[in-house]
A and B are shown apart, each in its own frame.
Chain A
Amino acid sequence: MQMSTDTDVNWQSERTDEAIDWRDRLHEGFVLRIYEPAIIAWSDRRTQTGLLIVLVYLSMALVDLLGLWRDASTSQAPRMLGAFQNWSYPLGTTQSGVDVLALIIDSTPFILQMVLAGGVWATGVAVIAGTISGYKGGLTDSVITAISDFFMSIPGLPLVIVLGITLEPESPLVLGVILTINYWAGLGRSIRSQVLSIRNESYVEAARAMGTSTVRIIRKDILPNLMPYVLVNFVFAARYTIFAAVALYFLGVLPYTGQNWGITLNYAYNQGALFGLEAIHWLLAPIIAIVGLACGLILLSQGMDRIFNPRVRTRLTGESESVESTPDHTTEVR
């Protein structure tokens, strides 16, 4: 610990002691929460690939925001050029002469904002509802459970379609929230059941006996235990947002102003069907964009599992021998 060198000077002063305590805690927190997990995460091939893929999408968004690639517009290029035939239009062009790569890049910021909004909304509401209902119990629990059960019993996509017609959302952030409007309910329910088992752990009981406030117990003792689960589910919520958005744009039931992958897919499917294989690049480009982003996110979440799962973590650092024997169990059962 670094504390000793600093504290030698004037540890009696309460103020600096607190400051050092604070700085030290920050440092410790950094090592424990960011540095070590990052090392472990990076050692996993899935995390590496996932991170790289997500970085590609982020840089695509950056390219669009900085205007490094041309904006999509009709008749900017020869019509129906195949992919990789002309290097000024690497992904080819559409029937109306739009650069496909420009189409994909143009919609990246929109999609990323929407995905972020959807993920944050879904997991945020779920964590709040789940922890409060699980920890408080009693009447609070009954009320929150009843509300989330109600939302759970409404199928997502039809509700979103009806809401889309009613509210006509155009901002990606609003759209992300609408797409996951009732996603939190199911997640909240499983977070609640996790909290139920944590609330009876001895250290939580000790904190309660000491008279620690509910808010502090939830923040300090309960939430850290849930973080891995929440992060993994953030990714699933994000994946759901992309899939749902693209599906609804593909069906043409969401109002749209600009371009995005779902609309590109819709045009390619409806108009490209006439051209057969000649238009396959136009159809494949948005599909690959969607699948790639989803794949990157899932790989990241799979890799994150390694950070949070203590069994896997010790196996990695080689501190524990007992876990080495686990593969044997599996062979015996066969």
Chain B
Amino acid sequence: MNYYLRRTIRIPATILGVATLTFGLIRLLPGGPFTQLRIQLRRRGMDAQEINARIEALQNIRPDKSLPEQYIDYLIGVVQLDLGQSISLNKPVIEVIGQALPWTVFIVIVSTLLMFILGVLLGSLQAYWEGTTFDSVGSGLSILFMSIPYYIYAVAFLVVLAFSWRVFPTSAAADRSIEAGFTVAYAVSVLHHAALPIISFTIGGVGSTALSMRGNSIQVLGREFVEVARLRGLSDQRIATRYVAMNAILPMYTGLLLLIGFRLGGTVVLEEIFTYPGLGFYLIEGVNANDYPLMMGCFMVITIALVLAVYVADMTYGLIDPRISVGDADEY
């Protein structure tokens, strides 16, 4: 079967798997679904039927049905984009997520691109000047940057730049007084609010990108085809970009797939520190407020976002590397 077709078919399968996992986890949550809420409601003097109806509205799980029925109901709800009702915010979960998702995607994409570009530039310069002071200082800095988790930069920036110097805002995704829309003022406000999260997330990843780019480039530089290209009298610039950089970046592209996952997950910490209203922020909100529908909804949507991101990356990998193997290997 065609690789691209097969890869596309796998998406619904993966999402089904994720939904199943989410369902299972909801069942496993301490005290089962909504024990706490049930007790609260009963204290208020609500009768059992009313409580069941209320809980059913909150999460599309009917407590009185059998497990397979609950599962089917849950899946139908997911397909209809019904992820239940947030207890703490008193809004449908899907509405909260609809507002939060763009911010998270924005932060992850911009910071990952910046990290990749800066890391590749730094790494290739180090490789060209291998052994010089620039190289050793660069490597030292890269190792130092790798040792500091991104949230430490976030905390430092927040304490110094936002709280002490008041150069940057301490929370929210945009100034509330400015109306959302395609205006310059709004765009500036968005960038101003996103700057610190993006910068701390970028710095947190530049070190490892630079180090692996440096290693790959040095390896490629020692290959015969680079020598041949030089003997053919190709310009240095062409060799540097087409022959060395391309081949050094290739192995990093597969790493990028994994990186997107780590970074999407990392937004949980980042957004909580900056009180930035993305998916991760609401996930933690859900955790802290015992708001399971919100928590599980955010978890599922973050996961689906990752599934799609990896899909896009997988699809485009074939464009970059024509050698991609699509057939199965023989079984020994």
Which residues of chain A have a CB within 8 Å of any CB of chain B? 135-142, 146, 149-150, 152-159, 161-163, 165-166, 168, 186, 189-190, 196, 199, 208, 214, 239-240, 243, 246-248, 250-253, 269, 273, 283, 287, 290-292, 294-295, 298-299, 302, 311, 326-327, 329-334
Contacts and interface: CB of A to CB of B under 8 A. Distances in A.
Interface stretch (B40-48, B49-57, B70-78, B142-150): B142-150
Given A295-B143, A298-B147, A333-B236, A158 B331 contact: no
A299 B143 contact: yes
A334 B332 CA distance: 46
Interface string B231-273: 0000010011000100000000011011001101110110010
B74 to A, nearest CB: 16
Contact of B299 (A152, A159, A253, A287): A159
Given A149-B10, A162-B295, A157 B147 contact: no
Contact of B29 (A165, A292, A294, A332): A165
Given A214-B332, A333-B236, A158 B265 contact: yes
A149, A155, A295 interface centre (most CB from chain B within 10 Å): A155
A154 B306 contact: yes
Contact of B262 (A156, A251, A290, A299): A156
Q: Which 4 A-B pairs have the closest CB atoms?
A: A138-B331, A155-B265, A137-B329, A157-B265
Contacts of A240: 262
Contact of A153 (B227, B268, B306): B306
A153 B261 contact: yes
Given A158-B283, A190-B255, A330-B218, 16 more contacts: A136-B332, A153-B307, A155-B303, A156-B261, A158-B268, A158-B303, A165-B29, A165-B30, A186-B257, A250-B269, A273-B163, A302-B143, A326-B218, A326-B221, A333-B230, A333-B244
A251 B128 contact: no
B18 interface: yes
Contacts of B148: 291, 294
Contact of A161 (B147, B283, B303): B283
A153 B25 CA distance: 17
A333 B330 contact: no
Contacts, number: 167
A137 B330 contact: yes
B302 interface: yes
A138 B329 CA distance: 6
Contact of A158 (B144, B302, B328): B302
Nearest to A297: B147
A155 B104 CA distance: 13
B196 to A, nearest CB: 16
B81 to A, nearest CB: 19
Contacts of B310: 152-153
Nearest to A137: B329
A8 to B, nearest CB: 44
A250 B257 CA distance: 27
Contact of B332 (A137, A298, A327): A137
Contacts of B14: 149-150, 153
Contacts of B236: 332-334
Nearest to A135: B332
Contacts of B330: 137-138
Given A137-B329, A141-B329, A251-B272, A333 B25 contact: no
Given A295-B143, A295-B144, A157 B269 contact: yes
A157, A199, A332 interface centre (most CB from chain B within 10 Å): A157
5 contacts: A165-B30, A168-B30, A292-B147, A302-B143, A332-B236
B29 A136 contact: no
A163 B28 CA distance: 9
Interface string B128-146: 1111000000000001101
B149, B302, B307, B328 interface centre (most CB from chain A within 10 Å): B149
Given A295-B147, A329-B221, A162 B296 contact: yes
B288 to A, nearest CB: 8
Interface residues of B, number: 66
Contact of B261 (A141, A152, A248, A332): A152
B269 A333 contact: no
A161 B268 contact: yes
A153 B260 CA distance: 10
B261 A333 contact: no
A298 B283 contact: no
B30 A157 contact: no
Nearest to B219: A311
B287 A153 contact: no
A269 B131 contact: no
Contacts of B296: 162
Contacts of B307: 153
Nearest to A269: B155
Contacts of A330: 127-130, 218, 221
Given A136-B331, A273-B163, A291 B261 contact: no
Contacts of A294: 146-149
Nearest to B24: A166
Contacts of A250: 151, 269
B287 A333 contact: no
A327 B131 contact: yes
Contact of B149 (A142, A251, A290): A290
A199 B280 CA distance: 42
Interface in B290-329: 295-296, 298-299, 302-303, 306-307, 310, 328-329
B28, B152, B266, B280 interface centre (most CB from chain A within 10 Å): B152
A156 B29 CA distance: 18
Contact of A155 (B17, B221, B222, B261): B261
A291 B152 contact: yes
B284 interface: yes
B67 interface: no
